Amino acid sequence: MIGPVARTDAAAARAGSRLFQALPTQVQLALLVLGLLVALVGCGVALVDQQSYQPSPSICRADEVHRTDCVHPVRVAPTAPTEWVAR
């Protein structure tokens, strides 16, 4: 399955490369600078957005019942539906 997808991706990349190389040098440079600026702004927004990040609590594994420095999960019993609806 991955073979046809990889060939399609490679063909699309080659076509994009040919299209990019057909542009004038100044347009190529402008597009590269624009792409770099977009990437920098994206990273900056992600950095600012993560300032309020609070890590999730440390969850205990099933075999760690005696630990006190982690949060013990509450097991929820699965419930069966009271009636089945045929569609």
For the chain, the domains span 2-52
Q: Is 60 exposed, middle or buried (0-12, 13-18, 19+ CB in 10 A)?
A: middle
Residue pLDDT, tens place only, 40-81? 999 999 888 877 777 777 888 878 778 888 887 777 777 766
The per-residue pLDDT of the chain, averaged, comes to: 83
pLDDT for 58 equals 82
3-class SS of residue 64: coil
Share of the chain above pLDDT 90, in %: 36
3-class SS of residue 12: helix
Stretch (H or E) spanning 47: helix 25-49
Secondary structure letter of residue 50 according to DSSP? G
* pLDDT range class, residue 19, cuts 50, 70, 90: very high
